[in-house]
Every structure is written in structure tokens, then in C-alpha cells.
Amino acid sequence: MPTLNYVESPRMPENAVHDEVLEAGLGWIHPLKRGQYFRILDLEGNQAVDTLFYSTADPADRYSAVDTIRRQGNIFLTAGTTLISQDGHELLRIVADTCGRHDTLGGACSAESNTVRYALGKKHMHSCRDSFLLTLAESHGRDEGLAPLGKRDLTANINFFMNVPVDAEGRLSFADGVSSPGKYVELLALMDVTVLISNCPQLNNPCNAYNPTPIRLSVWDPD
């Protein structure tokens, strides 16, 4: 397992131009302008935050796990990682990280994965895929410069704060989290991007101690 990489941010909460708390199980979509900073803060520790990024100008050009992993030669995201789009553009860069490592392989929970991983009776529990779809549906028609997105735009996502170790055989496991209360990850937008988040509602995964919790989302204008 790689060494955790910690970098703190100089930005203060009182200077944020946008600041809100998102409860567990809810989705969030928000545009970021080039040069803005975006922070996700884990309020109570070990919460998984499923996240996707899109070029606002061209939503078909979105975060690519494959290109990001290939560019940095590492399957985990941390301070210094640049998130690459499927067309090879630089979307955002992680400029601060007090958690140290984030997953980009585990994907989003869904009705199907709840059934396969846990039990048939778990199929209809809330999931991140459902939160993504509901958030996109509710965002349609809003005049906020948001990219028009739909079901086909849901691709392999980032799981901020989630611990998904990979063994020597390439097998993934969902383990106890490596985050704790107050840990955060902060990204610099390198172009105009749209952020889509599901604050994971999963009750069957040990990564959050079976207790989904709120997160804090903050945006700062360029320095």
C-alpha cells in the first residue's frame, strides 16, 4: 500500500464564496469556473463521496479513471494528482489533501451491486447511482450554467475518502476507511467543470462503519 500523501490548504472557510453541508444520501451538482478551488470535507470521518467531473462546455469530455491512472502511474488519487478527461484534457488538480489517498476503481453502489455484494433484499436500498440520476433529473431546466447531463453520462467515478485496497493478484476489497473527522481534499479547476456528487448512503459497507454521515462542500474564487 502506498504511503499517504498529506498537504494542507491555506484557504480559510470564512473566505469561501460557496459553503454548504450535504447530508448522507443526497446528491449535488455545481459548476466550477477555471481557477476556482473546491473542497470536500469529511465532517465525521470515513464517509465515501462518489464524484464525477465534466467539462461544462463539452459534457462528453468527462473524468477518465483510465487516463488519470495512466498519466500518474498510480491507482490512488492524492495531492498532486491531475484529473484527466477522456479527451486528454486536464480537468482539475488535487492541491491539498489531509486524508492522503482516494479510490478511483471501486465505482458507485447501485441496485445491482447491492444485490450481488450483499443480498437480494438489499436491491431497493438507496444507492449512489440512484442519487446521481435523481440529482441530474432535478437539475434539468436550472439556469446555472450547468452541463446537460443524463443517464448515459454516468461513468467510472472517484470515491473520495474511500479505502479500496488492491492485493498482489489485482483483487479489490472494501475496507475500513483511512479518513477521520475534519479531513478534506481540495481541487483546483483547470477549466470550467461541472461537479456531480452522491454523498454515499451505503449501509452495508465497512468503509463508513455502516453509518453514512454529512460532508461540507466549499468553493473559493482564484487567489
pLDDT tens column, 152-176: 898 999 999 988 767 677 676 666 6
Whether 182 is in a domain gets the answer yes
Q: Is the pLDDT reported for residue 83 higher than 50?
A: yes
pLDDT value of position 208: 65
Whether 54 is in a domain gets the answer yes
Whether 95 is in a domain gets the answer yes
Whether 2 is in a domain gets the answer no
Over residues 16-28, the mean pLDDT reads 95
Q: Which domain holds residue 114?
A: 18-220
Q: How many domains does the chain have?
A: 1
User: pLDDT per residue over 94-152, tens digit each?
Assistant: 999 999 889 898 777 755 555 555 444 544 557 788 889 889 988 876 656 666 788 88
Whether 82 is in a domain gets the answer yes
- pTM score, whole prediction: 0.88
What would the grid cell of residue 141 be?
431546466
What would the grid cell of residue 113 be?
451491486
Whether 212 is in a domain gets the answer yes
Q: Is the pLDDT reported for residue 2 higher than 80?
A: no
Whether 3 is in a domain gets the answer no
Whether 186 is in a domain gets the answer yes
Compute the distance between CA of residue 30 and CA of residue 203 in angstroms, rounded to an integer.
26
